[in-house]
């Protein structure tokens, strides 16, 4: 219950009695420093980094932001030299471990003490007592449904379990409304691996033997997860192995899908008045990701986005960067960009676009695992599962291949001997 409570606190932002933050020049840390931020490229990240720039650029010798979808690919190389190319990287669960594996981000405890009055404890990502990142927004996959099409097919409630979702898809196909009502991000590689993760966690799966890097995906939960995926993609377009977020969002906005498991961060983009028709947007309902049993664990991974500070920069630069980014986490920034994200910050008013992520988090979905070897496992899943989904081999064989591919890679990376 404690965890659920904390999540409600974060996601619904009901519990945050943050101290009034003294905005302005004084909070910006040492003057004349260089602040260089590397981040992904979506509106919420622009809002945070942009506000930091507005607040503190005048006192800094240099304030640069590099927003790129390739941030994850370049960050380790960019932070390795001393001095590092960037003083801060805005990361998520999986990318934080990628930086921590190489020791490229520094513990923030002293900086939090000095500049973090407005940062509640649950946003401090701590590992063994060291605060390594400050989270500010949440994301997860969840269910999108078209209420008008469900009603037309005689389905009277939004599906809550995988079985209900499949039954609803069957009803829609049976009624001759759509041949392929389901959309999911199943593109070979990272996306299909992530789709497996969702169903795997919903079935109660564990990726590794606790405390080790020994794989455990070839399990009952693994087979059940694959069978769930297979049953779902029966109702997805035959091209599903080439579809990721951009494609699934486009199909949804074109009115060619009625049930979708997509990212919460696409919610605002789908519900806005651009790229779609009134009929689609007004009937799109965002709800929790489906579970296996009613009331079970939703099939989703919870993600946070947050900022880190590089190890290989001077203490003064680190302090200036932290202060600038911390100064952006205010209710005013949230109010100005309310619908861009599911903010974990004070002042957030959950709108329609946030409903799915909130419900998924409250349903007790698992966070994306923060393990140093998870990237290798994810890669192996992404490469090996398509054989099963195309019907070329059994679920057991596909999972055996995943474990074999993972173990080969993990041995080379030094996680297994």
Q: Does 103 bind other proteins (CB under 8 A)?
A: yes
Q: Give the helix, strand, coil percentages of the chain, each rounded to 5.
A: 50, 15, 35
Q: Does 409 bind other proteins (CB under 8 A)?
A: yes
Let me know: does 382 contact 188? Beta carbons within 8 Å: yes
Cα(267)–Cα(341) distance, rounded to whole angstroms?
9
Let me know: does 269 contact 146? Beta carbons within 8 Å: no
Q: Does 98 bind other proteins (CB under 8 A)?
A: yes
Distance (Å) of CA 70 to CA 200, 209, 238, 306: 27, 32, 29, 17
Question: Cβ 160 to other proteins, closest distance in Å?
Answer: 21
Cα(301)–Cα(303) distance, rounded to whole angstroms?
6
Please identify, using beta-carbon distances, which residue of 244 and 352 lies nearer to other proteins.
244
How many residues bind other proteins (CB under 8 A)? The answer is 72
Footprint of other proteins on residues 361-390 (CB under 8 A)? 361, 367, 369-373, 375-376, 379, 383, 386-387, 390
Cα(386)–Cα(35) distance, rounded to whole angstroms?
43
Q: Does 405 bind other proteins (CB under 8 A)?
A: yes
Let me know: does 203 contact 221? Beta carbons within 8 Å: yes
Cα three-residue angle 411-416-417, rounded to 5 degrees: 85
Question: Cβ 315 to other proteins, closest distance in Å?
Answer: 19
Q: Does 344 bind other proteins (CB under 8 A)?
A: yes
Question: Cβ 386 to other proteins, closest distance in Å?
Answer: 4
Return the residue of 53, 194, 253, 401 that touches other proteins, per CB under 8 A.
401
Q: Does 109 bind other proteins (CB under 8 A)?
A: no
Q: Does 212 bind other proteins (CB under 8 A)?
A: yes
Please identify, using beta-carbon distances, which residue of 144 and 415 lies nearer to other proteins.
415
Footprint of other proteins on residues 123-142 (CB under 8 A)? 123-129, 135, 138
Question: Cβ 58 to other proteins, closest distance in Å?
Answer: 32
Return the residue of 36, 72, 142, 146 that touches other proteins, per CB under 8 A.
72
Cα(81)–Cα(46) distance, rounded to whole angstroms?
26
Q: Does 233 bind other proteins (CB under 8 A)?
A: no
Question: Cβ 194 to other proteins, closest distance in Å?
Answer: 14
What is the CB neighbour count within 10 angstroms for residue 5? 11
Question: Cβ 69 to other proteins, closest distance in Å?
Answer: 13
- Supply the DSSP symbol for 59: G
Question: Cβ 294 to other proteins, closest distance in Å?
Answer: 22
* Only segment of 5-13, 21-29, 152-160, 199-207 that touches other proteins (CB under 8 A): 5-13
Return the residue of 189, 255, 275, 347 that touches other proteins, per CB under 8 A.
189
How crowded is the C-beta side of 205, counted as CA atoms within 13 Å?
29
Kindly tell me the number of DSSP H helices and DSSP E strands found in the chain.
18, 12
- What is the pattern of x (binds other proteins, CB under 8 A) and - over residues 301-330? -x-x--------------------------
Return the residue of 64, 66, 80, 101 that touches other proteins, per CB under 8 A.
101
How crowded is the C-beta side of 313, counted as CA atoms within 13 Å?
27
Please identify, using beta-carbon distances, which residue of 57 and 413 lies nearer to other proteins.
413
Please identify, using beta-carbon distances, which residue of 157 and 390 lies nearer to other proteins.
390
Please identify, using beta-carbon distances, which residue of 62 and 70 lies nearer to other proteins.
70
Q: Does 148 bind other proteins (CB under 8 A)?
A: no
Cα torsion through 28, 139, 264, 161, rounded to 10: -160
Closest CA to 40 of 69, 74, 76: 69
- Supply the DSSP symbol for 239: G
Burial class (CB in 10 A: 0-12, 13-18, 19+), 278: exposed
């Amino acid at each position: 219950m404690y965890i659920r409570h904390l999540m409600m606190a974060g996601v619904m932002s009901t519990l945050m009695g943050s101290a009034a933050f003294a905005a302005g020049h004084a909070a910006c840390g040492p003057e004349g420093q260089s602040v260089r931020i590397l981040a992904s490229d979506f509106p919420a990240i622009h809002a945070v980094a942009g506000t930091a720039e507005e607040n503190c650029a005048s006192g800094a010798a240099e304030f640069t932001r590099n927003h790129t979808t390739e941030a994850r690919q370049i960050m380790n190389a960019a932070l390795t030299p001393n001095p590092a190319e960037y003083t801060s990287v805005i990361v998520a669960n999986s990318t934080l471990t990628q930086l921590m594996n190489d020791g490229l981000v520094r513990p923030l405890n002293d900086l939090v003490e000095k500049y973090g009055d407005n940062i509640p404890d649950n946003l401090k990502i701590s590992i063994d007592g060291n605060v390594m990142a400050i989270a500010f927004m949440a994301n997860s996959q969840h269910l999108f449904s078209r209420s008008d099409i469900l009603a037309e097919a005689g389905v009277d409630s939004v599906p809550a379990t995988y079985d209900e979702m499949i039954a609803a898809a069957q009803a829609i196909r049976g009624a001759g409304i759509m041949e392929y009502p389901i959309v999911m991000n199943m593109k070979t590689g990272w996306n299909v691996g992530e789709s497996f993760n969702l169903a795997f966690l919903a079935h109660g799966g564990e990726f590794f033997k606790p405390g080790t890097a020994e794989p455990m995906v070839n399990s009952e939960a693994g087979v059940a997860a694959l069978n769930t995926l297979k049953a779902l993609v029966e109702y997805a377009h035959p091209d599903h192995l080439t579809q990721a977020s951009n494609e699934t969002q486009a199909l949804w906005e074109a009115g060619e899908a009625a049930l979708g498991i997509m990212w919460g961060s696409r919610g605002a983009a789908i519900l806005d008045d651009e790229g779609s028709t009134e009929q689609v947007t007004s009937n799109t309902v965002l709800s929790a990701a489906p579970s296996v049993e009613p009331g079970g664990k939703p099939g989703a991974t919870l993600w946070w986005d947050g900022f880190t500070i590089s190890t290989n920069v001077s203490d003064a630069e680190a302090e200036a960067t932290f202060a600038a980014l911390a100064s952006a986490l205010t209710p005013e920034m949230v109010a100005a960009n309310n619908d861009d994200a599911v903010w974990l910050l004070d002042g957030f008013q959950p709108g329609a676009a946030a409903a799915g992520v909130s419900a998924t988090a409250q349903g007790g979905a698992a966070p994306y695992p923060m393990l140093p070897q998870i990237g290798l496992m994810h890669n192996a899943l992404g490469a090996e599962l398509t054989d099963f989904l195309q019907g070329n081999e059994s679920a057991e064989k596909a999972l055996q291949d995943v474990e074999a591919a993972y173990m080969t890679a993990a041995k080379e990376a030094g996680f297994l001997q």
